[in-house]
Structure 1
Amino acid sequence: MRKAGHRLPMSKVDILIPAFNSAHFLTGAIESVLAQTVAEWRILLVDDGSSDGTREFVERFAAENADRLAGRLTYLYQQNRGLPAARNAGIRAGSSPLIALLDADDQWLPTRLEDSIRSLEDRHDVGLSYGGVSRFELSGTVLDTFVTSEPGGSREEVARRLYTRTVHFPCPTVTFRRECVDAVGMFDETMRATEDRDLWLRIAQRYGVVFVPRVLALYRVSAGSMSKDLPRMLTSQRQFIAKHAGELGCGWAARQVALAGVLEQQAVGYRARGERGRATRFAAQAVIRAPWLRNLWRTAAAITFAR
C-alpha cells in the first residue's frame, strides 16, 4: 500500500474510492476492482475521517494482497469533509488520463473498466461514459436493474435532460477524462448531495457523453441512504437548479420542469412515509410549477385520492 506523498505509478485509470466508516464493505469493492479484465488501473482510496478502523483494514488488506495489488492501491486520509471533498482529494492525488468512480459500498462487474475504456477510445470529443446498474440490498439480493436510454443528441439536449433529471448517470458506472475536470472544475464541495449531477452537467455542456448499454456495476441500497433524507435532498436539488439556471440546456421551461420533478419526488417520498398531508402539498406545488406535464397530475391524483 502506498500513502499520500509517494510518487504514484503511471496507469490508464485512477479509481476513486471515498470511504467514511465503510471498512466492512471495502473487501467487496476492492475485490471487484481486482477482478477487472484490464490491469492498467490504480486505486486512490480516500479515508474521509473514519473512526471504524478503515486505515487498519486497508493496511492489512494491502499486506495480505501485495502480489495482486502490485502497488496499485494508494491510501489517503483527511479530516471528515464530505463526499465531494473526498473525491476531489483523490482527483488531486492522481494523474491518470481517465477517472472512474466506485463508492466503498458498491461493486463493479468484471468488464466494467474494459467497457468504459473502449467506449472512450478514439472519441476525443467524448468526455464522459456511463452505463447500467443493478441495485442490491445488504444481504446481496438484487432488487432491480436500470439500463437507461441514450443520454440524448446535442450537448444542449443532454444538459437539459440532466438538469431536469430525465436521464441518470449511476456513479459507479461513470468514467470521465481528467481534462474535463481541468476544464470545468471538480466536484462542488458546497453541495452535500447532487454534487455528482452538478459535475456531469458541467461536463456535458462542453463534451460529448456516451452510454454503455449494459450493466456495469452493483449499487448498494441501505436504510441510511442519503437519498432517503428528503429535506437535505430538497435543499441540495434546489441549490443545483438555481446554480445552473440560464445556462446551456437550463432555460426557463427546463427550470420549471426541474423544480416540478424535485417537488414530485418529495411528494412520493412523503407518501411512502405515510405523511399524506405533506405529500399532497408537494404534489400540488409540482403541478403548479409545470401544469403541462400529465405525469404530475397523475401523481397528485394518486396521492390525493389514495385510500
Structure 2
Amino acid sequence: MAAYNAARYLPTSIGSVLAQTEPDWHLVLVDDGSTDDTEAVAREYKERLGDRMTYVRQKNGGPSAARNTAIRVSSSPLIAMLDADDVWLPDRLARAVEIFEREPTVGLTYGGITRFREPDVTVDTFYGNSGKAEGYVAERIYTRSMEVPCSSVTIRRKCLESAGMFDETMHATEDRDLWLRIAQRFKVGFVPEVHVRYRMSASSQSADPLRMLQTQRFFVDKHYGEPGCGWRPRQEALARIYRQQAEGFADRKEFGTGLRNALHALTLAPWQTANLRTTASITLRSLRKR
C-alpha cells in the first residue's frame, strides 16, 4: 500500500486487509512523504499488528516510487496492490491465490471493482472485460480495450523480476505500463467477481484531461514495436485515447473540442465503428445546442 496524505482513509483500507478470509498476509505500507496524520495513523496500526505489518516513511516520490519501495521491502512470492483510499472485499486475496495455485503460468490476476463517491454513492461497477479477458492479452492492454484495476491486481514476484518494476519516470498510466510488460511474458488471470471498492476523487489525475492525454500518448509511443504493440494496435490505442478525450469534453458541453478529438480518433482508426458513433453523437449534440 502506497499512501500520501491518506490518514482519513487508512482505517477503512487497513481494516479491509484485516477482514480478509485469506489468513496468510503481511501488509507493507509506504508513506510517501505525507504532510497530514498518515504517519500517526500508520504507526498506531503498526503497534497493533506487530510483525504482520511493515511501515516505511520516505521522501515524496510519487506512486511508482512508493510501490517499488513496498515491493523491495516485502518478501512474499505474491504481491497484491491496494491504493490507500480503496477497499478490499473479504475474499479479495483468497480468490487471487486460488488462481495462482491452479495456474502456474499466470503472472498477474485482476478482478472486478465498484466505483463510488463519498459518502457512499455507487457510481458504476466493472464486472469484467468483454471479449478475451485473460490469457495472453498484451495487445488488449496496449490498445486499452481491457481494464486492469490496480487495487484488484496480484502479481507473482518472479514475474516482476522478469518484467521489471514500476517506471518511476511515469506519473500516470504507470500501472498499465507494468501490466503490459508482465502480459508480454506471462498469462493474465481473471477473478470473475467484484472484490474491490474504488474511491473516486475530483482531485485524481484523470480529472486533468491534458495531462492524461500526454501520459497516455507517452505510454503508447514507449512500447510501439514491442510484442502486441504493432502499427494497427498503435492506431487503435491512440484512437481510443482521443475518443475518450472527446467524450469527456462533450460531457462538459465543450462540443467544439470534443468534435476535434472525435475526428482525430476517426482519422487514426476509421475501421473502428466506435469512432464513427462518437463523432456522429457529438455532432448531433452540438447541433441541438445551437
- CA drift of 1:268 comes to 1.0
1:223 aligns to what? Answer: 202
- 2:39 matched to 1:55? yes
1:255 aligns to what? Answer: 234
Q: Which has the higher mean CA deviation after the structures are superposed, 70-79 or 216-225?
A: 70-79
Contact persistence 1:151–1:209 (CA under 8 A): no
Contact persistence 2:95–2:191 (CA under 8 A): yes
3-state SS of 1:213 partner: strand
- 2:18 matched to 1:34? yes
Which consecutive residues of structure 1, in runs of 5 or more, have no partner in the other structure?
Answer: 1-16
- CA drift of 1:168 comes to 0.7
- AA aligned to 1:234 is L
- CA drift of 1:122 comes to 3.8
- Cα gap change, 1:85 to 1:289, in 2 (>3 Å): same
Within-5 A mapping of 1:132-147? 132-147=112-127
- 2:55 matched to 1:81? no
Instruction: Find runs of 4+ consecutive structure 1 residues off by over 4 angstroms.
Output: 150-154
Q: Which has the higher mean CA deviation after the structures are superposed, 234-243 or 69-78?
A: 69-78
Contact persistence 1:151–1:210 (CA under 8 A): no
- 2:191 matched to 1:207? no
Q: TM-score if structure 1 supplies the norm length?
A: 0.90
Partner residue of 2:260 out of 281, 291, 298: 281
Partner residue of 2:4 out of 20, 26, 41: 20
Per-residue CA shift, 1:199-219, capped at 9, x if unaligned? Answer: 111101110111110011100
1:299 aligns to what? Answer: 278
2:167 aligns to what? Answer: 188
- AA aligned to 1:258 is A
**Separation in 1 of the partners of 2:135 and 2:113?**
24
Percent identical across equivalent pairs? Answer: 51
Task: Please give the root-mean-square deviation of Cα atoms over the aligned residues, in Å.
Answer: 1.3
- 2:230 matched to 1:246? no
Q: Which has the higher mean CA deviation after the structures are superposed, 160-169 or 267-276?
A: 267-276
1:236 aligns to what? Answer: 215
Give the count of matched residue pairs: 285
1:116 aligns to what? Answer: 96
3-state SS of 1:23 partner: coil
Q: TM-score if structure 2 supplies the norm length?
A: 0.95
- CA drift of 1:276 comes to 1.7
Q: Which has the higher mean CA deviation after the structures are superposed, 294-303 or 137-146?
A: 137-146
Which consecutive residues of structure 2, in runs of 5 or more, have no partner in the other structure?
Answer: none
**Separation in 1 of the partners of 2:72 and 2:126?**
31
Q: Which has the higher mean CA deviation after the structures are superposed, 77-86 or 144-153?
A: 144-153
2:246 aligns to what? Answer: 267
**Separation in 2 of the partners of 1:276 and 1:231?**
16
- Cα gap change, 1:154 to 1:217, in 2 (>3 Å): closer
Contact persistence 1:85–1:187 (CA under 8 A): yes
Per-residue CA shift, 1:66-98, capped at 9, x if unaligned? Answer: 2xx242111111111111111001011111100
Contact persistence 2:150–2:175 (CA under 8 A): yes
Contact persistence 1:151–1:211 (CA under 8 A): no
- Cα gap change, 1:36 to 1:92, in 2 (>3 Å): same
- CA drift of 1:283 comes to 0.7
